[in-house]
Structure 1
Amino acid sequence: MRGRTTIALALLVALTGCGGTDEPTPGPAPTSSESADPAAPTGGPVDDPVVVEPETALLDWQDTGVLPDTRYVKGPEWEALGDAGDTRVELARDGDAVTVTAGRGRTVSEVLMGEDWAVVVKQDKAETAPSEVAVVDLATGDTGTVATPPAASGGSWALTGGDLYYPTYGDGGAYCLATAALADSNGEDGWCAPERSGFSGLTASEHGIGIMTFDDARPVACRTANLLDGGGVPQPVEGPEDCTAWDVAATADGVVWSEVPKPRRQEEARFHAAADGGYFDLGPGTTGTAVPCGDSVFFASDPQGPEEPARLMRWTPDRALQVAYESPSTGNAFLGEPVCGGGVLTVTSYGEQGDEHVWANVG
């Protein structure tokens, strides 16, 4: 089924370090934010976080009208719809339509959408050639490309505002993070992973860029949750236990991350948040599902009992943990990775009582 995160970590190992790039140093603990609500709850110390009880605040979900396994992204005005073979994507709004085809020997691997831009990534099926990147200006429907730096095959991608973050290769085959300003097709490579390490799990919002870095340790890689600093270098967030982190996303006054307590059960995580120097325990969740959208960070949580549904959890700017969605099925049910398109969230749920594919505006 499309949507369930592949649990085995795809270790895109850089065999050669990027010359002149230093190892990242630990970043500062979350500091106070002028945007923080003074009435918001206060977290505990890092070794004794406040356990947050969720409240139910379901969003106004609407049926997408497409099959659950269909690649689909809903935006404020446009929607992107893929075909069954991942050979094309059609973007449409009010009678306007733009079609992007993968081309011979390629498949659509990513579709990202913001308020102003959409990006379609066309990956080489043999994974021997760089990915091709098609860009659609949602104001005009005009199409373009991001050609430099050339995109690596596969990997993790993120879009925020008019900036695209994606993997590329640097000198000596180093695995690097590229940034492209879509308005002027200006791309540049930046930080490169040290030798025998890589990165994944990119998330992006107006509050910052999250990135998970990892090494090639066996049998389990050592993973670190980071936010990019002003120079584009990953800085480890304070809070996660060493080597256990997975998801990471910036918030207005801190960060949300997940940890995997049992290496053999990598799909099962526990989510946490830091805000203004205090720490919160957000409960169980599914790795690979954290996504910033609108003013919040969302993550999926599998049923916690035979009569429980799968849930989409929401960490809000006022530090409330909310149940934003519940699956129609209980027990044997799960959610696919939620997808955000310019403040519109799309969710797929699967279960014995029926599948569902829905969207909602995020306040």
Structure 2
Amino acid sequence: MLGLLMASGCSTSEGENAESPEITASSSPAANSPSPAEPATLPKVQNLGCQEVTGLPPGEQIKAATADYVVTTSLKDTRVVVRDTESKRTLLTYDAPARLRLQDVYLRPPSLVVTSYDEVEDAAPEMVVIDLDTGDERVVTGGARKPWTGVSSVGEDYLTYGSHGLDGGYCLTKVDLSTLQTQDVGCVPPRNGIHQVRQSPFGLAYTRFDDTRPASCGSARVAEVSGRDAVDVAGPAPCNVWESVALADGGAAWGEVPKARQIELANYYVRQGAGEPELLADGLTGSLTWCGDSVWFVQSYGRRMLRWSSETGLEEAFRDPKNHEVSALSSPICSGDSLAVLVLSGVAGSRTRQSFTSPSCLGRRAKQQ
């Protein structure tokens, strides 16, 4: 099944714009500490409901959903379909240009952002911003900074993508969703890269990594939304950072990879303002997401999603409500006022692989009064 939650006021997104590097294990105590055990008991996020969403055509893959829209792609990744969540009526479709395949789809009402790429030629991806109300399509050309990679993050007001610097290095460029005007965020030196870009109201966070061998070194940086120079995030162990999210008053949440040969597992930390880092829990790399007023991530064993906010601390937000024998959660997907999580579930020993096209679940978190 596919589980979808609603969180009020989501305005950001996650994404990647470079190949995932290997991470060098640091010698710091924090990096070499064992992964924290699953918290025995955590308070549960209140006012989360669940509504079954069924009736979608077989063979389609759900990419995002809100109370109003469900976005799917075809099995061959050539068509995007936007449907009304309740009636399943088709509202609009988008077909990838000839020879191109869909790469990423981001739902940010009233916009839908789609990236397509050429499987044969090493050409720049095509990025399109679609108005959900009118169906109008606008192609992101990038101006002086031509796209190098596809979209790496989409928020309420702007998207980001990877571009070429004058010296051949990697740069990050932002595009205003209403005007499509571009602005440089920053560049890294040659033989360095950027990945795991995250937007929050407090800044644009990304991980900078180098080509050190046998494993690269990753450090968390935050660029102000205004476009000022990026600064390193204080608190993470050197070289171990996989992803981060900017928080209020210069704080941050981030994931550190303690074992270089297990880059899929991380320990997640939070630092409020100028305080000391606090270990939250273990989790799956790539799952750290800002949505609404909180940080969300999936625990390492993939069975439940956790939420942290400065007001409530760490809480259990979601787990497979059907309690399947085998289940795993995807990284959270923030779309407008909605937080979605894909639930891949089945039965132990079964040879049948359920895709993310099975029935989905929608829940709404009541807005705080």
Q: In which range does the TM-score fall when normalised by the shorter chain? A: 0.7 to 0.9
Looking at structure 2, the residues matched to 68 and 316 of structure 1 have their Cα atoms a distance apart, in angstroms, of 37
Shift of 1:172: 4.1
Conservation of the 8 A alpha-carbon contact between 1:347 and 1:359:
no
Question: Equivalent residue for 1:88?
Answer: 79
Structure 2 unmatched runs, 5+: 3-15, 22-32, 349-353
Give the distance between the partners of 2:53 and 2:167, measured in 1 at CA: 45
1:30 aligns to what?
none
In structure 2, give the amino acid aligned to 1:325. F
CA distance in 2, matches of 1:311, 1:132: 35
Q: Counterparts of 1:1-363 in structure 2 under 5 Å?
A: 10-11=19-20, 54-57=42-45, 59-65=48-54, 66=56, 70-93=61-84, 97-126=91-120, 128-148=122-142, 149-154=145-150, 157-229=152-224, 230-253=226-249, 254-278=251-275, 279-303=277-301, 310-327=303-320, 328-329=322-323, 333-353=327-347, 357-362=360-365, 363=367
CA distance in 2, matches of 1:200, 1:69: 28
Cα gap change, 1:249 to 1:232, in 2 (>3 Å): same
After TM superposition, the structure 1 stretch with the greater mean CA deviation from structure 2, 210-219 or 70-79, is: 70-79
Query: Hey, what's the Cα distance between the residues in 1 that align with 2:229 and 2:121?
Result: 27
* Inter-partner Cα distance in structure 2 for 1:166 and 1:76: 28
Quickly say closer, same or farther: Cα 1:77–1:332, change in 2 above 3 A: closer
Q: Displacement, 1:323?
A: 0.8
Q: 2: distance between equivalents of 1:317 and 1:101? A: 42
Which digits, 9 at most, give the CA deviation of each residue in 1:266-296, with x for residues without a partner? 1111101111322321111110011111111
TM-score, structure 1 as length reference: 0.78
> How far 1:96 moved relative to its partner?
6.3
Offset at 1:118? 1.5
1:214 CA displacement: 0.3
Identity in percent: 27
User: Alignment partner of 2:235: what SS?
Assistant: coil
Shift of 1:232: 4.2
- Asked whether the 8 Å contact 2:124–2:149 carries over to 1, the reply is yes
Q: Distance in 2 between matches of 1:360 and 1:228?
A: 33
Q: CA deviation at 1:68?
A: 9.8
Distance 2:347 2:325 in 1: 10
Instruction: Using the TM superposition, name which of 215-224 and 274-283 deviates more.
Output: 274-283
Measured against aligned partners, the alpha-carbon deviations of 1:165-219 in whole angstroms (never above 9, x if no partner) come to 1111232432111111121121233411211100000111222211011000111
Say if 2:184 and 2:227, in contact at 8 Å, map to a contact too: no
Deviation of 1:69 (Å): 7.7
Flag the 1:361–1:291 CA change in 2: closer, same or farther, 3 A.
farther
Q: Which has the higher contact order (CA 8 A, sep 6+)?
A: 2
Deviation (angstroms), 1:123:
1.5
Go from structure 1 to structure 2 and tell me whether the alpha carbon gap of 1:332 and 1:75 turns closer, same or farther (over 3 Å shift): closer
Following the alignment from structure 1 to structure 2, what is the Cα–Cα distance between the partners of residues 289 and 340? Answer: 11
Deviation string, structure 1 residues 40-64 (Cα, Å, up to 9, x no partner): xxxxxxx9xxx98732226323334
Which residue identity is paired with 1:60? G
User: Structure 1 residues 205 and 60 mapped into 2: Cα distance closer, same or farther (>3 Å)?
Assistant: same
CA deviation map 1:238-291 (0-9, x unaligned): 111000011211234522101011111111111011113223211111100111
CA separation in 1, counterparts of 2:314 and 2:60?
28
